């Protein structure tokens, strides 16, 4: 298939009417494809013969921009990558840089990162599941899950001050500790979220229309998922038992016991159910983390990496010097490179960072799980009807910010 973009001639079909296929553009602005992605479909009636995916409408030059700013100044840019689960991006970036320095944040900091990552992951899955159901017409499900997500946003706002553009982590620690009574607030929110989840499940699990539109549609086999580099809920729905939190544990995920929901068929319904069940698993991880949360510092104590507390800056000369060095020169990891993956909401989110010893990164690369998952979108849609594009696209959960960066 050479140069499909410039070669989209409608082909003649072999029937007695000598009809042609139709080229349909599901353009970047489309109410059902959330995110700015363009699908060029070649149709025979309702059936898709060929599909091409045109990405890049939300490309903002993240990787180039990062080469010009400090390591801590990259953190607000990472928020805008996967903007439905921003803390996971923050944590991934910061862990990559901490591994370049070869330091480890104290245990309380690690547990708080786990808690916030899991709250963020719940937001991501609630958004995907809710929006996916809404696109099939189940508007109430979406509203119930958006209400659940609002509870989570309230919690995140209590901790970080923002709902979406969070920038909570810093290299070497966190911005600030958890507020008082956060554990009780989380337990109260979880009770409400569970009720919303049960309501949503009741509406959807025995609904004939929903099941027929989702089951056996968009089947990705296990080998295909591995060959196309797909990880995360999509691959787990196809039976690939791979979760970065279990396989390559980071930030003390190995201290917690949780299951990884696995599907068997790899159709839309499996992807929906895997995400739905991962919400419960995330809640269980957060509860375990609260039980075991130790007291202590949340950031490491190295003045070359993290800024000292303000009273030291104003009272001691060493504090002032280290504050000055970090603000004006930036933190300077040793020269070298690292690839560090974390489990994002859609799969393995990896950061490949090359440092040349100066205050700015030399090269930053985000390995976006959605981008790689869009690689299968073209071959997957062949043979399906236009009506299937909507649930398949919804369950692949392409987040524009992460795909295009």
Partner 1 sequence: MSETNIHNPKQLELKSYIEKGSFPDLIPSESLKWKSYGLAYKCKPENFLKVATLLKEDPIVNLDMLIDVTCVDWLDSKDYRFEVVYQFLSIVHHYRLCIKLEVGEVSPKVPSVRSLWPAANFLEREVFDMYGITFEGHGDLRRILMYDEFIGHPLRKDYPLRGKQPRIELRVPELRNTSSDLKKEQLVGLPSRRKISTTTDSLN
- Name the residues that contact partner 1, by CB under 8 A: 1-5, 8-10, 20, 22-23, 25, 40, 55-56, 59, 61, 63-65, 68, 99-100, 102, 226-231, 240, 242, 247-248, 334, 336-341, 348, 350, 352, 354, 356, 362-363, 365, 367, 371-372, 374-376, 404-405
Nearer residue to partner 1 within complex by CB, 308 or 369: 369
Question: Which residue, 54 or 177, has its beta carbon nearer to partner 1?
Answer: 54
Cα distances (angstroms) measured from residue 265 to each of 207, 388, 399: 20, 17, 24
Residue with smaller CB distance to partner 1, 22 or 198: 22
- Nearest-approach distance from CB 246 to partner 1, in angstroms: 10
User: Cβ of residue 395: shortest distance to partner 1, in angstroms?
Assistant: 19
CB of 239 to partner 1, least distance (A): 11
User: How big is the CA angle at 232 (ends 388 and 384), to the nearest 5 degrees?
Assistant: 15
The nearer residue to partner 1, 2 or 16, going by C-beta atoms, is 2
Min dist. Cβ of residue 314 to partner 1 (A): 35
Least distance (Å) between residue 220 CB and partner 1: 12
Q: Evaluate the CA torsion angle 174, 175, 177, 182 in order and state its sign.
A: negative
Report the alpha-carbon distance of residue 123 to residue 177 in Å, rounded: 21
- Closer to partner 1 by Cβ: residue 103 or 152: 103
Specify the residue, 1 or 317, whose C-beta has the smaller distance to partner 1: 1
Partners of 41 in beta bridges = 24, 51
- Residue 72 backbone class (left: φ over 0; alpha: ψ -120 to 50; beta: rest): alpha
Cβ–Cβ under 8 Å, residues 260 and 270:
no
d(CA 391, CA 151): 26
Beta carbon of residue 40, minimum distance to partner 1 (angstroms, whole number): 7
Between CA 296 and CA 299, with CA 298 as vertex, the angle to 5 degrees is: 125
CB of 153 to partner 1, least distance (A): 30
The smaller minimum CB distance to partner 1, of residues 209 and 227, is found at: 227
Q: Which is nearer to partner 1, 40 or 107 (CB)?
A: 40
Tell me how far, at minimum, the Cβ of 229 lies from partner 1, in Å: 3
Q: Is the CB of 249 or the CB of 303 nearer to partner 1?
A: 249
Least gap, CB of 405 to partner 1 (angstroms): 8
Q: In what order do the strands lie in the sheet with 22-26?
A: 22-26, 38-44, 47-54
């Amino acid at each position: 298939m050479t140069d499909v973009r410039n070669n989209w001639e409608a082909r003649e079909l072999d029937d007695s009417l000598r009809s042609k296929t139709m080229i349909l553009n599901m353009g970047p602005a489309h109410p059902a494809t959330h995110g700015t992605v363009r699908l060029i479909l070649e149709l025979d009636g309702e059936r898709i013969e060929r599909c091409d995916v045109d990405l890049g409408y939300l490309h903002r030059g993240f990787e180039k921009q990062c080469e010009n700013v400090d390591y801590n100044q990259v953190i607000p840019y990472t928020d805008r990558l996967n903007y439905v689960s921003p803390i996971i991006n923050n944590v991934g970036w910061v862990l990559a840089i901490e591994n370049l320095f070869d330091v480890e944040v104290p245990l309380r900091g690690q547990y708080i990162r786990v808690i916030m990552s899991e709250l963020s992951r719940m937001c991501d899955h609630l958004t995907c599941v809710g929006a996916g159901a809404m696109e099939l017409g189940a508007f109430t499900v979406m509203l119930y899950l958006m209400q659940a997500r609002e509870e989570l946003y309230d919690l995140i706002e209590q901790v970080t001050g923002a709902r979406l553009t969070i920038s909570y982590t810093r290299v070497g620690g966190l911005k600030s500790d958890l507020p008082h009574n956060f554990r009780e607030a989380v337990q109260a929110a979880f009770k409400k979220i569970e009720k919303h989840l049960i309501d949503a499940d009741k509406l959807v699990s025995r609904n004939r229309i929903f099941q027929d539109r989702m089951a056996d549609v968009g089947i990705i086999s296990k080998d295909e998922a591995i060959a196309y580099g797909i990880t995360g809920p999509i691959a787990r729905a196809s039976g690939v038992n791979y979760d970065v939190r279990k396989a390559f544990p980071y930030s003390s995920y190995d201290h917690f016991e949780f299951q990884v929901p696995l599907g068997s068929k790899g159709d839309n319904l499996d992807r929906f159910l895997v995400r739905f069940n991962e919400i419960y698993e995330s809640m269980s991880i957060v509860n375990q983390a609260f039980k075991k949360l130790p007291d202590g510092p949340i950031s490491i104590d190295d003045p070359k990496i993290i800024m000292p507390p303000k009273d030291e800056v104003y009272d001691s000369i060493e504090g002032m010097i280290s504050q000055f060095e970090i603000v004006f020169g930036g933190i300077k990891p040793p020269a070298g490179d690292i690839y560090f993956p974390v489990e994002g909401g859609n799969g393995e989110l990896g950061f490949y960072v090359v440092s040349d010893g100066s205050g700015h990164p030399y090269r930053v690369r985000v390995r976006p799980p959605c981008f790689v998952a869009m690689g299968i979108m073209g071959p997957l849609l062949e043979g399906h009807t236009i009506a299937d594009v909507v649930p398949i696209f919804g369950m692949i959960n392409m987040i524009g910010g992460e795909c295009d960066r």
